[in-house]
A and B are shown apart, each in its own frame.
Chain A
Amino acid sequence: MTPGRPGDNAGPPRLPPRRAGPPAALVEVVGMLCVLVGLIVVFGLLTEHFFSRTTFYMIAAQVPDAAIAAVGMTFVLIIAGIDLSVGSVLALGGAVLGVAIVRWHVPVPLAVSACLAVGLLCGAVNGLVTVAWRLPSFIVTLGMLEVARGATMTVLDSRTAYVGSAIEGISEAAFLYLPVPFVLALLTVAGGQLVLTYTAFGRHVVAVGSSEETARLCGVNVPAVKLRVFALCGLLASLAGVMQVSRAASANPNAGTGFELETIAAVVIGGTSLMGGRGSVVRSFFGVMIIAVLTSGLAQLGVQDPTKRIITGLVIVAAVVLDYYRQRLGRRPA
Chain B
Amino acid sequence: MRRTVLALVVVAGLVVCGCGDGRPAEGDKPRVALIMKSLANEFFKTMEDGARAHQQANAAKYGLICNGIKDEQDVQKQIDIVNQMIAQKVDAIVIAPADSKALVPHCKKAQAAGIVVVNIDNKLDDAVLAEQGIRVPFVGPDNRKGARLAGEYLAKKLAAGDEVALVEGRPNALNGIQRKLGFEDAMKAAGMKIVSSQSGYWETENATKVVGGMITQHPDLKAVLCANDSMALGAVSALKAAGKLGKVLVVGFDNISAVQGLMKDGRVLCTVDQHADRIAVYGIEYALEILDKKTTPADRETPVDLIVPDGVQVPIDPVQ
Query: Is the C-beta of A8 less than 8 angstroms from some C-beta in chain B?
Result: no
Quick check: A253 and B40 within 8 Å, CB to CB?
yes
Interface of chain A residues 225 through 276 with chain B (CB within 8 A): 244, 247-250, 252-257
Number of A-B contacts (CB under 8 A): 130
Quick check: B256 and A49 within 8 Å, CB to CB?
no
Query: Is the C-beta of B210 less than 8 angstroms from some C-beta in chain A?
Result: yes
Please name 9 pairs of A and B residues whose Cβ atoms are closer than 8 Å in the assembled complex, sorted by A. Answer: A54-B242, A153-B40, A159-B257, A160-B230, A162-B257, A179-B241, A247-B237, A247-B241, A254-B203
Q: How far is the CA of A35 from the CA of B195 in the complex (A)?
A: 30
* Residue in B42, B219, B259, B265 whose CB lies within 8 Å of A49: B219
* Residue in A57, A172, A252 whose CB lies within 8 Å of B242: A57
Shortest distance in angstroms between A300's beta carbon and chain B's nearest beta carbon? 4
Quick check: A250 and B233 within 8 Å, CB to CB?
yes
Contacts of B237 in A (CB 8 A): 247-249
Identity of the chain A residue whose Cβ is nearest the Cβ of B238 in the assembled complex: A58
Classify chain A's interface size. 35 or more
Q: Which of B40, B216, B257, B258 has most chain A Cβ within 10 Å?
A: B216
Contacts of A13 in B (CB 8 A): none
Shortest distance in angstroms between A249's beta carbon and chain B's nearest beta carbon? 7
Interface of chain B residues 198 through 247 with chain A (CB within 8 A): 198-199, 203-205, 208-217, 219, 229-230, 233-234, 236-238, 240-242
Query: Is the C-beta of B66 less than 8 angstroms from some C-beta in chain A?
Result: no
In the A-B complex, the 5 residue pairs with the smallest Cβ-Cβ separation, listed nearest first, are A299-B213, A162-B258, A162-B261, A158-B45, A160-B258
A58-B212, A164-B265 known; A255 vs B204 contact (CB < 8 Å): yes
Contacts of B212 in A (CB 8 A): 58, 62, 296, 299
Contacts of A55 in B (CB 8 A): 216
Contacts of B219 in A (CB 8 A): 49
* Residue in B45, B199, B241 whose CB lies within 8 Å of A305: B199
Shortest distance in angstroms between A174's beta carbon and chain B's nearest beta carbon? 11
Quick check: B204 and A250 within 8 Å, CB to CB?
yes
Contacts of A161 in B (CB 8 A): 257-258
Residues of A bordering B, CB below 8 Å: 47-50, 52, 54-55, 57-58, 61-62, 149, 153, 157-162, 164, 168, 171-172, 179, 244, 247-250, 252-257, 295-302, 304-306
Q: How far is the CA of A247 from the CA of B211 in the complex (A)?
A: 14
A58-B242, A160-B42, A248-B204 known; A52 vs B216 contact (CB < 8 Å): yes
Q: How far is the CA of A305 from the CA of B230 in the complex (A)?
A: 19
Query: Is the C-beta of B41 less than 8 angstroms from some C-beta in chain A?
Result: yes
Q: Which of B195, B197, B237 has most chain A Cβ within 10 Å?
A: B237
Contacts of B199 in A (CB 8 A): 305
* Residue in B214, B233, B236 whose CB lies within 8 Å of A160: B233
Chain B residues touching A, majority SS: helix
A162-B258, A302-B214 known; A296 vs B209 contact (CB < 8 Å): yes
Quick check: A248 and B213 within 8 Å, CB to CB?
no
Quick check: A254 and B40 within 8 Å, CB to CB?
yes
Interface residues of B, count at CB 8 A: 44
Contacts of A255 in B (CB 8 A): 204-205
A158-B42, A252-B230 known; A164 vs B261 contact (CB < 8 Å): yes
Contacts of B229 in A (CB 8 A): 160
* Residue in A49, A157, A247, A305 whose CB lies within 8 Å of B216: A49
Quick check: A54 and B216 within 8 Å, CB to CB?
yes
Q: Which of A149, A244, A256, A300 has most chain B Cβ within 10 Å?
A: A300
Shortest distance in angstroms between A245's beta carbon and chain B's nearest beta carbon? 10
Q: Which of A48, A179, A254, A304 has most chain B Cβ within 10 Å?
A: A254
Contacts of B42 in A (CB 8 A): 158-160, 253
Q: How far is the CA of A61 from the CA of B234 in the complex (A)?
A: 13
Quick check: B171 and A305 within 8 Å, CB to CB?
yes
Shortest distance in angstroms between A85's beta carbon and chain B's nearest beta carbon? 16
Contacts of B39 in A (CB 8 A): 153, 158
Contacts of A171 in B (CB 8 A): 240-241
Query: Is the C-beta of B260 less than 8 angstroms from some C-beta in chain A?
Result: yes
Contacts of B234 in A (CB 8 A): 248
Contacts of A164 in B (CB 8 A): 261, 265
Q: How far is the CA of A305 from the CA of B238 in the complex (A)?
A: 19
Query: Is the C-beta of B67 less than 8 angstroms from some C-beta in chain A?
Result: no
